[in-house]
Chains A and B, each alone.
Chain A
Amino acid sequence: MIDIPFLYGVEETIGLHVILSNIFWWVSLFLVISAYRYRHIWNVGKLVWAFLFMAFLFFGIRELGHLTKSPIIDSVRYIFGMWSAIFLTSAMIFIFIKLYLRKTISRAMIILPFALMFLFPIIFIFLIFSGTRTEEIQYIMSITENIVWIVGSSITIYTTYLLGMKSTGGFINFYMFFHFAAIFALLWKFLGLIGNISCPVPYAIREILETLFGVFAILSIIVLRKMLMKLSKQIS
């Protein structure tokens, strides 16, 4: 019997994109840690650095979740994806507030990402204890992750565009790559959402978009690290 969904690549598969994605995000995390050594050169605050670290760490963990097919693990994976979206978006919002709007980040603004972070595991635990089937929980978490990423990447597209317009030198590339990453994340998750709720989109297309998202994310961190390293050598 011919497996039609598999032929059209509608079903999620563990393939090259999972390996590539894991490499990109874990190497990116290593680069963020490495760039953090030069934080005194780019004084955007420790919180921005922490948020960048958490965004890459959580996405790396999310990608590791691809290696299993359990619905519960998948649901947990989506929670890590949501956390990654929250912290990546927040990091860019904070840089935007500091450098573009020239305002101080309020306590409420700092608490908000953490409040959102705890919201989704609470929903997850509530669903488990309410007796919802694991497949349904996975479906709800998948849709929620799609929505969180769509909202987050839309905000990131806006903030990185404005930051890029006011930047100079290597920072233009840094924001531009983040901008592209956010565009691919938006497309990836938008296709995921319409695939979930109505018409399935070939998974191969989403795989390519997800991989490109990782490529641009790692490129932005490489640019940032290179700039900071170069300056560190110049002033030491």
Chain B
Amino acid sequence: MTTKAELYLFALSELENSTGDIISTAIVTHDGLIMACTRSDLKQKEIFAAYGAATFKYAGDAMEELSGENIDMLLYESKNHMVVTVRAGKHALLIALTGKNVQMGLVIMNVQKTAQKIKEI
């Protein structure tokens, strides 16, 4: 029998295959625990999940203060990387770390599509 974790991992693989230059993706809880992750390094997985969830939480607090609304998506970039985080259902977040040579619009669209799939699992 296929577990939800396997289905989540499959959805993440599909996202990575459909969009070029995605370095890694993860589905994490709001506590920062991993539900599924495509990173192989165990230590990096934990950090990816913990920091991804924490950043989304702080950005969510800022959004609520500034606009009075809940945050739906968080996007931040550095010189060579970009991170997109979206809500994937009530209890989960989808985080995608990409390189700089990626079409931002395509990444956002595919990430949102995948988040919707995760919601339905």
Contacts and interface: CB of A to CB of B under 8 A. Distances in A.
Contacts of A99: 46-47, 50
Interface SS, A side: loop
B43 A104 contact: yes
Interface in A1-51: 41-44
A47 B79 CA distance: 36
B3 A43 contact: no
Contacts of A228: 33
Contact of A169 (B3, B32, B34): B32
A170 B54 CA distance: 11
Contact of A234 (B35, B42, B46, B53): B35
Which 6 residue pairs of A and B lie closest in terms of their CB atoms, listed nearest first?
A169-B31, A235-B5, A168-B57, A169-B30, A168-B54, A170-B31
A161 interface: no
Given A43-B42, A234-B91, A236-B3, A166 B50 contact: yes
Contacts of B100: none
Most central of B3, B29, B34 by chain A CB within 10 Å: B29
Contact of B3 (A42, A168, A235): A235
A98 B32 contact: no
A171 interface: yes
The prevalent SS among residues of B at the interface is helix
B43 A42 contact: no
A231 B29 CA distance: 8
Interface string B20-35: 0000000001111111
Interface of A: 41-44, 98-99, 102, 104, 166-171, 227-228, 231, 234-236
A98 B54 contact: no
A77 B9 CA distance: 49
B33 A42 contact: yes
B91 to A, nearest CB: 6
A110 B94 CA distance: 35
B117 to A, nearest CB: 15
B26 to A, nearest CB: 12
Given A98-B46, A228-B33, 10 more contacts: A43-B34, A102-B47, A166-B50, A167-B32, A168-B32, A168-B57, A169-B30, A234-B29, A235-B36, A236-B5
A227 B35 CA distance: 12
A184 B32 CA distance: 28
A182 B32 CA distance: 24
A161 B5 CA distance: 32
Contacts of B81: none
A168 B29 CA distance: 10
B63 to A, nearest CB: 15
B35 A235 contact: yes
B35 A171 contact: no
Contact of B34 (A41, A104, A236): A41
